[in-house]
Chain A
């Protein structure tokens, strides 16, 4: 198994290298804006633009800039390890900006993931077990609604109802749980639920479909014939097998959110990675864009590896190869 893990880790490194190189290339081929010109004032001279390019390191050939960035990433730069450079916009090390924002995004992603698992899977199981019942139809109808509803609309409506009209929850923004746990919870609960509803709907439909398929298998009939209770048949024999595809989906969804739930963060004014990504792209802040890219790429590739390992545990037919 360890050989498998090491081999996969090497693949992770290769994938991240390719993705960052592509990001670099896209930035220089189709720049969102020229940071040097942006910084050069109202009536800049060519000398000034050249000077700013020099200060930002943008005067070197693209491949040299990439290699330098890579070297700093691996060996660290003057601001620590990993070296992610200096933001053109905030004039601070990107590393500290990332460390500042990543926890907020992780809180949003993990909280939402818990909510969608707690809502989606039970609803999927109940719908499968009570197939064609009123519960099934209402649940699947609601799932269809939430799958179709855009997150920004759900977010704005939730804010309008629960904050603006009912005054049950506070408005937008982020409060650290170390400052005030209650306030943190009340500020996070709406973003969690809004983000989770979309995923919960997917998971409910997936769980229902997979479980229905599993419950039609011969070994389930055998289990019933053996006289096992219905709950044991469904939860122990049916659910375990039907959940394995969901594990893959869950890993990738969660990892994707680490790269930032852009819309949810924007609507609820959570200053996480997603919001930062948008700001960085619009201001041409290449070091920040690269930092977000590498975090997202790492999260997805590593989570993929983790899921594959867990998959083999959940389904003994899968072997490391």
Chain B
């Protein structure tokens, strides 16, 4: 009988799916914001890269949490869209006149009465910010994006053995901090918005100055929320410190209001909920079912499965609870210029012409999850100054243009009989790295079929550890579709040098996948072989020019400059087939009365959402 019931239930489940009509939904569901309640959510795993220590951690989701736990000299309003990417003073009193005329000195005055949370409950001083930079400079702590500061601030090189004063940072008094730069850095303020530069109390963090990721279990709040149990932390000595109970990397992160926080000092955050309760739930379907049931208030990190999305888009009553926001991220197929046949620009252009991007989008889950990309930088990062209207490889309905692709392939040295199909041996059996999870696996056949039309026969390799494979230069992976790039902060420069800068090519964790700007010296240093006569076009000079333009005074000019680089990359260099500008998708329950998206972190804004539940945080 039970078996029969289960069989009937299975058939019912299979038949209840609805249709495939998917629509992008409103980005922000406004509503009456009320204080109180707990935002209850879940995640399949935290997946932090460096143990949640703000000095080193660089997972995007961590920035979402830090937005609630930490305050920086400058920060964001943690809202969606362009407004969410704008910088405002946070711990700094003002941003007016902070930069010297020569752009080499930045002086900030701190707001008074801003305190660290329990158990310290003491005023935050400029020395706490300086200490954050001292930690960034310690080699053993593995700062995830330390290069932003090593190239900028005098006396920083990321090679210090211990925390010690930095010559380029002065703290003349507790309320003043001065940065002396090696050279004008046009986006320096953005760099100060990153969590690693938030004040860190030396009396706690010094116990972990030689343990990578160690401070992650002891993060002391400077923001509106603190890790539950922070008040129980015994800071009398390093040996008495026990991990804060509210954060267990394999189980949960629970935040409660920081009693030392003064809302009057903060006009960036609403802080409506009394607590944020994030539980680890290994079953992703279960997370979304709990949101549908109302036992969770919303999702957090994972995109909803297609079956769940269908329930929202086909039910008008539910549609308002599906939120799709720009993730400021581009997904792309990369082609390695150092491996045949992609050393030939005609082959790379042909690959762009032939790609069925509409098919990829359908396999990806539809327009809820993204917009077809036609160039490198997501429009949201360049103030919508370049969108789908710029498409050098235009095709009807983005389905790919086989005729134009073949015209391009005919010009290639790899098409000896000039029939528009690659006939060289190097086009056969090419390893293409991919992820081993949906939606990448769903989109894979579309990419394989598209490339086959011009004779490029790829062998997909679906790997759990795909990034290690493609980011280790020695592997010389010819092509991959596992790669994406999101902003660190909303400056188009973040889509520049790390992806296309010649000096940024590194032996491991390399993100210049096409090896753009590779010099013979670098090639020798990396120990790789490339086809004879290969030229690696460089955009290093263009990047240097754009990076000279100030973020503060000439933002539009700077954006326009990077847009030109984007166009040049797509037409003269062509190392990618960009196929999707990602949307981040969240579902919420009716208990969420105010939904907001944090454009900086790319996830739901923990400091701007409101709920009407009566829940309390779990212990």
Query: Which of A68-76, A208-216, A263-271 forms contacts with chain B?
Result: A263-271
Assess whether A33 is in contact with B281, with CB atoms less than 8 Å apart.
Answer: no
Contacting residue for A160 out of B2, B3, B9, B49, CB 8 A: B9
Which B residues are closer than 8 A to A by beta carbons?
Answer: 2-3, 5-6, 9-10, 13, 45, 47, 49-51, 56, 58, 139-140, 142-147, 158-159, 210-214, 216-217, 243, 248-251, 279-283, 285-286, 289-290, 293, 295, 464-465, 468, 498, 504, 506-509, 511
Q: Is A199 an interface residue (CB 8 A)?
A: no
State A43–B279 Cα separation when bound (angstroms). Answer: 31
Q: Which of A63-101 contact B (CB under 8 A)?
A: 89-92, 97
State A164–B283 Cα separation when bound (angstroms). Answer: 15
State A89–B3 Cα separation when bound (angstroms). Answer: 41
Assess whether A171 is in contact with B213, with CB atoms less than 8 Å apart.
Answer: no
State A157–B5 Cα separation when bound (angstroms). Answer: 10
Assess whether A55 is in contact with B507, with CB atoms less than 8 Å apart.
Answer: no
Query: What's the minimum C-beta distance from B15 to chain A, rounded to whole angstroms?
Result: 13
Q: Which of A285-307 contact B (CB under 8 A)?
A: none
Query: What's the minimum C-beta distance from B524 to chain A, rounded to whole angstroms?
Result: 16
Beta-carbon nearest neighbor of B508 in chain A: A37
Q: Is A312 an interface residue (CB 8 A)?
A: no
Query: Shortest 4 CB-CB distances between A and B: which pairs?
Result: A41-B144, A90-B249, A145-B3, A266-B282
Assess whether A41 is in contact with B249, with CB atoms less than 8 Å apart.
Answer: no
Q: With A97-B250, A145-B3, A269-B286 in contact, is A41–B139 under 8 Å at CB? A: no
Assess whether B295 is in contact with A161, with CB atoms less than 8 Å apart.
Answer: no
Cβ contacts under 8 Å, B3 to chain A: 142, 145-146
Q: Which of A128-161 contact B (CB under 8 A)?
A: 142, 145-146, 149, 154, 156-161
Assess whether A282 is in contact with B142, with CB atoms less than 8 Å apart.
Answer: no
Contacting residue for A171 out of B51, B216, B295, B508, CB 8 A: B295
Assess whether A51 is in contact with B6, with CB atoms less than 8 Å apart.
Answer: no
Assess whether A90 is in contact with B250, with CB atoms less than 8 Å apart.
Answer: yes
Q: Is A232 an interface residue (CB 8 A)?
A: no
For A39, A90, A279, the residue with the greatest tally of chain B CB atoms inside 10 Å of its CB is A90
Assess whether A173 is in contact with B281, with CB atoms less than 8 Å apart.
Answer: yes
State A161–B13 Cα separation when bound (angstroms). Answer: 10
Assess whether B56 is in contact with A41, with CB atoms less than 8 Å apart.
Answer: yes
Query: What's the minimum C-beta distance from A53 to chain B, rounded to whole angstroms?
Result: 11
Assess whether B142 is in contact with A38, with CB atoms less than 8 Å apart.
Answer: no
Query: What's the minimum C-beta distance from B534 to chain A, rounded to whole angstroms?
Result: 24
**14 A–B contact pairs at CB < 8 A?**
A33-B465, A40-B508, A41-B509, A42-B145, A42-B511, A91-B217, A92-B243, A97-B250, A161-B6, A171-B290, A171-B295, A267-B283, A271-B250, A278-B282
Assess whether A89 is in contact with B249, with CB atoms less than 8 Å apart.
Answer: yes
Q: With A39-B50, A51-B142 in contact, is A172–B5 under 8 Å at CB? A: no
Assess whether B286 is in contact with A171, with CB atoms less than 8 Å apart.
Answer: yes
Which A residues are closer than 8 A to B by beta carbons?
Answer: 32-34, 37-49, 51-52, 55, 89-92, 97, 142, 145-146, 149, 154, 156-161, 164-165, 171-173, 265-269, 271, 275-276, 278-279, 282-283
Query: What's the minimum C-beta distance from A177 to chain B, rounded to whole angstroms?
Result: 15
Cβ contacts under 8 Å, A146 to chain B: 3
Query: What's the minimum C-beta distance from B17 to chain A, rounded to whole angstroms?
Result: 14
Q: With A42-B58, A279-B250 in contact, is A52–B142 under 8 Å at CB? A: yes
Cβ contacts under 8 Å, B508 to chain A: 37, 40, 44, 49
Assess whether B289 is in contact with A38, with CB atoms less than 8 Å apart.
Answer: no
Q: With A41-B49, A161-B5, A276-B250 in contact, is A269–B140 under 8 Å at CB? A: no
State A32–B45 Cα separation when bound (angstroms). Answer: 17
Assess whether A41 is in contact with B9, with CB atoms less than 8 Å apart.
Answer: no
Query: What's the minimum C-beta distance from B121 to chain A, rounded to whole angstroms?
Result: 25
Q: With A42-B498, A142-B3, A282-B464 in contact, is A157–B10 under 8 Å at CB? A: yes
State A20–B75 Cα separation when bound (angstroms). Answer: 49
For A40, A91, A149, A160, the residue with the greatest tally of chain B CB atoms inside 10 Å of its CB is A91
State A161–B146 Cα separation when bound (angstroms). Answer: 51
Assess whether B280 is in contact with A159, with CB atoms less than 8 Å apart.
Answer: no
Assess whether B249 is in contact with A39, with CB atoms less than 8 Å apart.
Answer: no
State A43–B159 Cα separation when bound (angstroms). Answer: 14
Cβ contacts under 8 Å, A271 to chain B: 250-251, 280, 282
Query: What's the minimum C-beta distance from B116 to chain A, rounded to whole angstroms?
Result: 21
Query: What's the minimum C-beta distance from B589 to chain A, rounded to whole angstroms?
Result: 13
Q: With A164-B289, A271-B250 in contact, is A55–B212 under 8 Å at CB? A: yes
Q: With A44-B508, A55-B212, A164-B289 in contact, is A89–B51 under 8 Å at CB? A: yes
Assess whether A156 is in contact with B145, with CB atoms less than 8 Å apart.
Answer: no
Q: With A37-B468, A89-B249, A171-B293 in contact, is A142–B2 under 8 Å at CB? A: yes
Beta-carbon nearest neighbor of A276 in chain B: B250
Contacting residue for B139 out of A42, A47, A157, A279, CB 8 A: A47
Assess whether B283 is in contact with A268, with CB atoms less than 8 Å apart.
Answer: yes
Q: With A43-B498, A154-B6 in contact, is A91–B286 under 8 Å at CB? A: no
Cβ contacts under 8 Å, B2 to chain A: 142
Cβ contacts under 8 Å, B509 to chain A: 37, 40-44
Beta-carbon nearest neighbor of B504 in chain A: A43
A39-B142, A44-B142, A164-B293 are known; give 11 further A-B pairs, CB within 8 A: A41-B56, A41-B58, A89-B250, A90-B51, A91-B211, A142-B2, A158-B6, A171-B289, A266-B283, A269-B282, A282-B464
Assess whether B6 is in contact with A157, with CB atoms less than 8 Å apart.
Answer: yes
Beta-carbon nearest neighbor of A157 in chain B: B6
Beta-carbon nearest neighbor of B144 in chain A: A41
Q: With A89-B51, A92-B243, A271-B250 in contact, is A41–B504 under 8 Å at CB? A: no
Q: With A34-B468, A90-B249 in contact, is A44–B139 under 8 Å at CB? A: no
State A232–B257 Cα separation when bound (angstroms). Answer: 68
Contacting residue for A265 out of B282, B285, B506, CB 8 A: B282
Cβ contacts under 8 Å, B13 to chain A: 157, 160
Cβ contacts under 8 Å, A51 to chain B: 139-140, 142
Contacting residue for A41 out of B50, B283, B293, B498, CB 8 A: B50
Contacting residue for B147 out of A43, A89, A275, CB 8 A: A43
Contacting residue for A269 out of B145, B212, B248, B283, CB 8 A: B283
Q: With A37-B468, A269-B281 in contact, is A159–B286 under 8 Å at CB? A: yes
Cβ contacts under 8 Å, A49 to chain B: 508
Query: What's the minimum C-beta distance from A3 to chain B, rounded to whole angstroms?
Result: 43
Beta-carbon nearest neighbor of B510 in chain A: A43
Assess whether B285 is in contact with A43, with CB atoms less than 8 Å apart.
Answer: no
State A33–B159 Cα separation when bound (angstroms). Answer: 26
State A30–B465 Cα separation when bound (angstroms). Answer: 12
Cβ contacts under 8 Å, A40 to chain B: 142, 508-509
Query: What's the minimum C-beta distance from B617 to chain A, rounded to whole angstroms?
Result: 14
Assess whether A172 is in contact with B142, with CB atoms less than 8 Å apart.
Answer: no
State A279–B286 Cα separation when bound (angstroms). Answer: 18
Query: What's the minimum C-beta distance from A190 to chain B, rounded to whole angstroms?
Result: 12
State A243–B210 Cα separation when bound (angstroms). Answer: 58
Query: What's the minimum C-beta distance from B484 to chain A, rounded to whole angstroms?
Result: 14
State A265–B286 Cα separation when bound (angstroms). Answer: 13
Assess whether A55 is in contact with B211, with CB atoms less than 8 Å apart.
Answer: yes
Beta-carbon nearest neighbor of B139 in chain A: A51
Contacting residue for B45 out of A55, A149, A160, A279, CB 8 A: A279
Cβ contacts under 8 Å, A97 to chain B: 250
State A40–B143 Cα separation when bound (angstroms). Answer: 8
State A165–B5 Cα separation when bound (angstroms). Answer: 13
Query: What's the minimum C-beta distance from A52 to chain B, rounded to whole angstroms?
Result: 6
State A97–B217 Cα separation when bound (angstroms). Answer: 14
Assess whether A91 is in contact with B282, with CB atoms less than 8 Å apart.
Answer: no
Assess whether B507 is in contact with A46, with CB atoms less than 8 Å apart.
Answer: yes
Beta-carbon nearest neighbor of B464 in chain A: A282
Cβ contacts under 8 Å, A266 to chain B: 282-283
State A278–B44 Cα separation when bound (angstroms). Answer: 12
Cβ contacts under 8 Å, A32 to chain B: 464-465
Q: With A43-B147, A43-B509 in contact, is A33–B142 under 8 Å at CB? A: no
Cβ contacts under 8 Å, A48 to chain B: 139, 142
